[in-house]
């Protein structure tokens, strides 16, 4: 058995079959009763091999700088410097025309000739690879210790209680601005750029880590691809026509990306894929099963084939309902596929494929801030344990230490 590649979920499951499954395809259990999920001795054995940093990166991790150059080697930065200078050449004529148009409107001094404007632009010094690395370092420093304006890092005098800036020790402010203006990681004229701006480093970034038996998939972890703009792959892309096959969002994105992560690796056991409600569907869970993966995720109850009998009559749990109440149903055609409705502060619905539903406990936070331990099926604990780490990663990336929020970028590199 091996991890296989598929482009889409559609076409493998008929809508009529899913509609019939919603009506007649589930065996509903009594409230708070659990099913027995039976694993085949060989086929359902979970991966138990090594997980963590690969041997190649362990040999290159004596310092943080060594790790940085492992993922982004010096040859890559030489290429970035070359493409940045290429961008300067490609935009030279347009910038010269803009400078001439601006000079024509000058009335408070003698206008400069087009030739002089050209000479001024030609004074630009080619950007060197080490300057790109310094620029990245300064951007990280700004994300860790932000100022109201980026220019404030170059202040030579104290401003009230704010100390003087230190960025000038590394790079002049005007040079930083020049690199910010022309920095490019790819050639704008390359055909591959229209599909994936990071195509030059995609293969390198796949190395360095052996994944654990449990893999969490979130909408921020799958890249969005579109010719005109960067998109959130958690939402449907409408730019390709209503009848086109969408392989960039929803369940199709998981089916496309999960095998690519493990491509080239020998199959040594199943792994558990965890997703949130943007991706979860019954066809996805069943198809991942055939590809060598178990599955658990929260689900939107509007999904085709979903068991309506496990739904609660409320959205927010009333005080008369115990917090740990749950309902469960097992698919008639696949005894390993279960639908679960769980009463947390609000109703939450899960879909699991070959995941244990034995009784266990999970920590939940009350309104007063205290933490309590409540009973739940095991698949709820599995979801919270691994999807919670992804949510924490998003918080750090988007709130605490974010280059995206610390600086406004007006171009895509």
Q: How many CB atoms lie within 10 A of CB 146?
A: 15
Q: Tokens 């809508």 — which residue?
A: 15
- Distance from C-alpha of 295 to C-alpha of 283, rounded to nearest angstrom: 11
Least confident of 64-68, 219-223, 276-280: 219-223
Q: To the nearest whole number, what is the mean pLDDT of the chain?
A: 80
The ranges assigned to domains in the chain are 15-51+213-403, 64-193
- pLDDT tens digits for range 203-228: 656 567 777 888 877 655 444 443 33
**pLDDT tens digits for 327-374?**
999 999 888 999 999 998 889 999 999 999 999 998 888 778 888 898
CA gap 141, 157 in Å, rounded: 19
Three-state secondary-structure class, residue 341: strand
Residue 254 reports pLDDT greater than 80: no
Q: Does residue 275 sit in helix, strand or coil?
A: strand
**Mean pLDDT across the stretch 221-239?**
41
Instruction: List the structure tokens of 69.
Output: 């150059």
CA-nearest of 26, 121, 5, 132 to 77 is 132
Whole-number pLDDT of residue 352: 94
Over the stretch 118-134, which tens digit does the pLDDT of each residue have?
999 999 999 999 999 99
**Rounded-to-integer distance, Cα 394 and Cα 390, Å:** 6
Provide DSSP, 229-251.
S---TTS---TT-TTS---SSHH
What is the dihedral sign for C-alpha 268, 269, 274, 280? positive
Q: Phi and psi (nearest 5°) for 107? A: -125, -15
Helix (H) or strand (E) holding 141: helix 129-144
pTM beyond 0.75: no
Within 10 angstroms of residue 411's Cβ, the number of other Cβ atoms is: 8
- Residue of higher predicted confidence among 336 and 234: 336
The least confident of 195-209, 289-303, 361-375, 381-395 is 195-209
Query: Residue 368: helix, strand or coil by DSSP?
Result: coil
Burial of 116 (0-12, 13-18, 19+ CB in 10 A): exposed
Query: Residue 260 has what pLDDT?
Result: 65
Cα 21 from Cα 91, distance rounded (Å): 58
* Cα–Cα distance measured from residue 396 to residue 413, given in angstroms and rounded to the nearest whole number: 23
pLDDT score of 154: 93
Rounded to the nearest angstrom, the gap between the alpha carbon of residue 88 and the centroid of all alpha carbons in its chain is 31
Q: Give the mean pLDDT of 54-72.
A: 85
Cα–Cα distance for residue pair 82/413, rounded to 1 Å: 14
Of all helices (H) and strands (E), which one includes residue 132?
A: helix 129-144
Element spanning 76, H or E: helix 74-90
pLDDT the model gives residue 402 = 60
When mean pLDDT is compared across 8-12, 37-41, 49-53, 250-254, the lowest value belongs to 8-12
Cβ proximity of 199 and 76 under 8 Å? no
What is the pLDDT confidence band of residue 409, given thresholds at 50, 70 and 90? low
User: pLDDT category, 181, cuts 50, 70, 90?
Assistant: very high
Section 99-114 average pLDDT: 90
Instruction: List b or e across 182-191, with b for residues whose CB sees 16 or more CB atoms inside 10 angstroms.
Output: bbbbbeeeee
Query: What is the model's pLDDT at position 370?
Result: 86
- CB-count burial class (<10 Å; 0-12, 13-18, 19+) for 328: buried
CA proximity to 205, closest of 271, 127, 273, 260? 260
Which range, of 52-66, 161-175, 220-234, 321-335, averages the lowest pLDDT?
220-234
Provide CB contacts within 8 A for 304, sequence distance 6+: 15, 18, 19, 22, 281, 282
Reading the block at residue 51, the tokens are 């997980």
**Mean pLDDT across the stretch 81-90?**
94
pLDDT number for residue 401 = 57
The pLDDT of residue 251 is 61
Determine the distance from the C-alpha atom of residue 401 to the mean position of all C-alpha atoms in its chain, rounded to a whole number.
16
């Amino acid at each position: 058995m091996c991890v296989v590649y598929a482009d889409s979920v559609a076409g493998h499951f008929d809508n009529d079959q899913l509609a019939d499954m919603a009506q007649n395809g589930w065996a509903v259990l009594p409230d708070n009763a659990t099913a027995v999920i039976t694993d085949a001795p060989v086929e359902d054995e979970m991966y138990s091999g090594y997980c963590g940093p690969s041997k190649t990166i362990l040999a290159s991790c004596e310092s943080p700088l060594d790790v940085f150059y492992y993922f982004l080697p010096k040859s890559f930065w030489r290429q970035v410097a070359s493409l940045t200078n290429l961008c300067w050449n490609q935009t030279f004529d347009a910038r010269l025309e803009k400078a001439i148009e601006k000079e024509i409107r000058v009335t408070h001094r003698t206008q400069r000739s087009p030739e002089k404007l050209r000479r001024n632009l030609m004074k630009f010094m080619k950007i060197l690879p080490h300057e790109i690395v310094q620029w990245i370092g300064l951007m990280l420093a700004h994300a860790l210790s932000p100022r109201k304006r980026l220019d404030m890092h170059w202040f030579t005098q104290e401003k009230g209680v704010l100390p003087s800036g230190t960025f000038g020790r590394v790079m002049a402010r005007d040079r930083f601005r020049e690199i910010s203006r022309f920095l490019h990681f790819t050639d704008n004229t390359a055909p591959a750029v229209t599909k994936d701006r990071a195509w030059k480093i995609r293969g390198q970034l796949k190395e360095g880590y052996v994944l654990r038996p449990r893999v969490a998939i979130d909408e921020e972890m799958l890249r969005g691809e579109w010719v005109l703009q960067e998109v959130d792959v958690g939402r449907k892309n409408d730019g390709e026509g209503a009848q086109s096959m969408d392989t960039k969002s929803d369940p199709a994105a998981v089916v496309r990306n999960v095998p690519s992560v493990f491509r080239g690796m020998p199959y040594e056991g199943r792994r558990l894929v965890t997703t949130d409600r943007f991706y979860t569907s019954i066809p996805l869970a069943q198809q991942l099963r055939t590809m060598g993966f178990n599955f658990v995720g929260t689900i939107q109850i509007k999904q085709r084939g979903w068991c309506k009998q496990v739904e609660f009559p409320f959205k927010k749990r009333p005080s008369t309902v115990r917090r740990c109440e749950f309902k469960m149903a097992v698919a008639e055609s696949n005894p390993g596929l279960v639908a679960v409705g769980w009463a947390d502060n609000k109703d939450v619905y899960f879909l699991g494929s070959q995941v244990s539903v034995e009784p266990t406990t999970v920590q939940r936070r009350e309104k007063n801030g205290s933490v309590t331990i409540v009973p739940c099926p095991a698949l709820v604990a599995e979801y919270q344990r691994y999807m919670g780490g992804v949510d924490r990663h998003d918080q750090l990336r988007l709130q605490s230490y974010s280059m995206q929020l610390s600086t406004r970028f007006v171009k895509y590199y």
